[in-house]
Amino acid sequence: MKAIFKPTFLKVLFTPVLLVVSSYLWRMVVIARISDTFPWGFPLQFYLAWGPCPPGEICSETNILFFLVDVLFWYIVGGFLTSGIANVRI
């Protein structure tokens, strides 16, 4: 179990890749259903913009805690993936 949390090159590489890919796929699903909402983040939405935005108003919000939880979540998923890859024998 400790091996899942120990940093390795693959885990550090998988974390941002999984975060960006999952966020982009979730963004595509939401935009297909709601045309004026533009989220980033999956499983927790850490950035949301909406429009059309009237001049002088802020039409977006960010949640740093959700971003950190997402990064931790995808780091753990990357840990399970790399441990699974390491256990596969050809």
The answer to pTM > 0.85 is no
Q: Which three-class secondary structure state does DSSP give residue 5? A: helix
Q: What backbone phi and psi angles, to 5 degrees, belong to 13? A: -75, -45
Q: 35, 38, 42: which is closest to 60 by C-alpha? A: 38
**Per-residue model confidence (pLDDT) at position 32:** 93
* Share of residues in the chain with pLDDT > 90 (%): 64
pLDDT at 89: 60
- The pLDDT value recorded for residue 83 is 81
User: Domain map of the chain by residue range?
Assistant: 2-87
Kindly give, in sequence order, each residue whose CB lies less than 8 Å from that of residue 59, ignoring residues fewer than 6 positions away.
49, 50, 51, 53
Residue numbers of the chain with a pLDDT score lower than 70: 1, 86-90
What was the pLDDT predicted at 70?
A: 97
